[in-house]
């Protein structure tokens, strides 16, 4: 666990250092600015991120680079069909040095930044092993609860195009992710830049060689988290968020609309985004900017809508457009 002394310069300096993380990530990852923003927002909210994208869109590289730009502990788990819950949380093992007594061996969840690679390739029992840690900040093994370090962020990846041998995340697990960010195929000029870097010798397995350095740490994250809680939200903006959530529940295409937990997630995300952009109050534009990432994974299509090829993102966009924006 890493100590978190008070940051120099207060919350303003912490914001500058966290903003500098974007520059460091950009040394190794081309584009994907929305995903970088989502990860920073989740850190400031104490939440978790589900990243979705086809193979080769830098999901794993992005998380590894973020970890290199922050002075935090990080671990990676490749999720597979034979992965057991104890492989995530840890387990009781015999300690030969202490006359065969049982001792607890920590699993990879005891870290600050956990990369859960291809989370939809492991069975639900193992997926749910993360649930308590994500929601409660602790794991229970052999009847004993153990706290995970702070800050704690689960960045899980999944591939949207391969369904054979996968286990879709249940609604209860999806709801524990603060945000879902989609990493798109880069634009032509971005792809050219990627190839230029590789031609010049860039090695994605060695982001330090690309010049990525740690520019922020746990103290900055803690200061940011405290500052985000002071960001003001007017009653009009609160009402706007509630009306968006209710609009999804009334959509004829959806069997599952946004729950109060989802509305709260949107509020938290909007406050973090407002603080990152240098304001101490939330605007309706902040809400709209984070609405898709905060809500889309919490919606469930009706079977008939799925058969008709309805896209859940389009349904959310329609719900957003139906709600008057406060002035």
For 261, other C-beta atoms within 10 Å of its C-beta total 11
Q: What angle do CA 153, 7, 41 make, to 5 degrees?
A: 30
Least confident of 64-68, 171-175, 224-228, 291-295: 171-175
Mean pLDDT across the chain, nearest whole number?
88
- Quick check: helix, strand or coil at residue 199? helix
Name residue 182's beta-bridge partners: 52
Q: Which CATH architecture has domain 231-322?
A: Orthogonal Bundle (1.10)
What is the reported pLDDT for 264? 96
Report whether pLDDT(163) > 70: no
Residue 115, phi then psi, degrees to nearest 5? -90, 110
Q: Annotate 66-94 with DSSP letters as a single string.
A: HHHHBT--EEEEE--TT--THHHHEEEEE
Round the CA-based radius of gyration of the chain to a whole number and report it.
Answer: 20
- Cα–Cα distance for residue pair 13/139, rounded to 1 Å: 34
| CATH node for 10-225 | 3.40.50.300
What is the reported pLDDT for 2? 39
- Cα–Cα distance for residue pair 212/197, rounded to 1 Å: 14
Report whether pLDDT(188) > 50: yes
- Cα–Cα distance for residue pair 190/32, rounded to 1 Å: 10
pLDDT (tens digit per residue) in 204-251:
888 888 889 999 999 999 999 999 999 999 999 999 999 999 999 999
Domain ranges of the chain: 10-225, 231-322
pTM attached to this predicted model: 0.88
Report whether pLDDT(3) > 60: no
pLDDT (tens digit per residue) in 50-62:
999 888 888 888 9
């Amino acid at each position: 666990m890493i100590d978190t002394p008070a940051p120099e310069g207060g919350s303003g300096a912490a914001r500058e250092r966290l903003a500098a993380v974007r520059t460091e990530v950009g040394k190794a990852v081309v584009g994907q600015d929305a995903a970088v923003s989502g990860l920073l927002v989740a850190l400031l909210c104490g939440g978790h991120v589900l990243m979705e994208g086809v193979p080769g869109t830098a999901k794993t590289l992005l998380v590894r680079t973020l970890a290199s730009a922050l002075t935090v502990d990080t671990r990676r788990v490749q999720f597979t069909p034979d992965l057991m819950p104890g492989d995530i949380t840890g387990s009781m093992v015999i300690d030969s040095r202490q006359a065969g007594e049982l001792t607890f061996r920590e699993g990879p969840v005891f870290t600050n930044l956990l990369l859960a690679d291809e989370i939809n390739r492991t069975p639900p029992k193992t997926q749910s092993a993360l649930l308590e840690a994500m929601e409660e900040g602790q794991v229970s093994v052999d009847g004993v609860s153990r706290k995970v370090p702070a800050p704690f962020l689960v960045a899980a990846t999944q591939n949207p195009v391969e369904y054979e041998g996968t286990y879709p995340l249940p609604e209860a697990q999806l709801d524990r992710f603060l945000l879902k960010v989609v990493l798109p195929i880069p634009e032509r000029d971005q792809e050219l830049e990627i190839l230029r870097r590789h031609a010049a010798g860039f090695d994605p397995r060695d982001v330090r060689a690309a010049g990525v350095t740690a520019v922020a740490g746990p103290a900055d994250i803690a200061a940011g988290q405290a500052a985000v809680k002071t960001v003001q939200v007017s009653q009009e903006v609160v009402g706007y968020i509630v009306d968006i959530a209710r609009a999804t529940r009334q959509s004829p295409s959806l069997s599952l609309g946004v729950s109060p937990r989802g509305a709260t997630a949107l509020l938290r995300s909007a406050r973090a985004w407002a603080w990152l952009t240098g304001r101490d109050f939330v605007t309706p534009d902040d809400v709209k900017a984070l609405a898709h990432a905060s809500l889309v994974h919490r919606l469930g299509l009706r079977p008939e809508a799925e058969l008709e090829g309805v896209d859940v993102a389009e349904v959310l966009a329609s719900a957003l457009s139906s709600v008057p924006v406060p002035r």
